[in-house]
Homo-oligomer: A and B are copies of this chain.
Amino acid sequence: MQVSVEQTKLGSVQRDFSEEEKRGVYRAIYERRDVRAQFLPDPVPPEVLGRLLDAAHHAPSVGFMQPWDFLVIEDPGVRRKVYENFERANRRAAEIYDTGRRAVYDRLKLAGILEAPVNLCITCDRERSTGYGLGRQTDPATDLYSTVCAVQNLWLAARAESLGVGWVSILDFEELKATLGIPETHTPVAYLCVGYVSEFRSQPDLEANGWEQRGSLETLIHFNRWGERNAHRAATLVPASVAP
């Protein structure tokens, strides 16, 4: 594909991506990692952090509701409190695993709260009136889903900026709300650690550490109705993978 030279129409944007622009999108998707252990202390320049937040703010949202807020957390005292929250939650979480798996669990590094120079908490306002409820009557969770789209936009933009992101879900979220002063009507959807990294690993940590493997895409595809498999048709889709 060549770089498109078509005239931009009034009210519309250039349609096609160059091959290198497309490669950028797929690199971000395939080379994005959930970073826990490779954070460097180097500061994140404000203009770069601004680009990440603006990418998040341009996520799709139900009814154009834009239900998100962004807490930028750099204060060491606040991060220390969140880290202690994580430590307690992680000890409780570890208790469900039997001996063999527990040994693997205990070796996993699951959060970079103190090492990453920036933490972000992205919240969802469950009662924001923006968007006038359009699209939410049939599924009230769609505001949470919109907020997750913002997280994923930020994560991919971060990868393009050579920044690692780790999503910490092992937290007592009621305690997190108290620590950060988040109002009752807002749900903390994602707590993220953000920073430059020593390297981007070629595999997810949980795969490299033997916790879980990536499943086969073919087995997850159904045609027209649940359970209607078509091995021939699925095979025409799946070899096209550009994954590493």
Contacts and interface: CB of A to CB of B under 8 A. Distances in A.
Contact of A144 (B15, B70, B141): B141
B55 A29 contact: yes
Contacts of A172: 138
Contacts of A28: 17, 25
Contacts of A206: 63-64, 131, 134
A71 B224 contact: yes
B60 A167 contact: yes
Which of A27, A54, A189, A206 counts the most chain B CB atoms within 10 A?
A54
A157 B152 CA distance: 13
State the number of copies, please: 2
Interface of A: 9, 11-13, 15-18, 20-32, 34, 46-51, 53-55, 57-60, 62-66, 68-75, 78, 89, 92-93, 96-97, 101, 105, 110, 130-139, 141-142, 144-145, 148-149, 151-153, 155-157, 159-162, 167, 169-173, 180-183, 186, 189-190, 197, 199-204, 206-208, 211-215, 217, 220-227, 233, 236-244
10 contacts: A11-B203, A12-B202, A53-B217, A54-B241, A54-B243, A58-B243, A64-B206, A69-B222, A139-B169, A183-B226
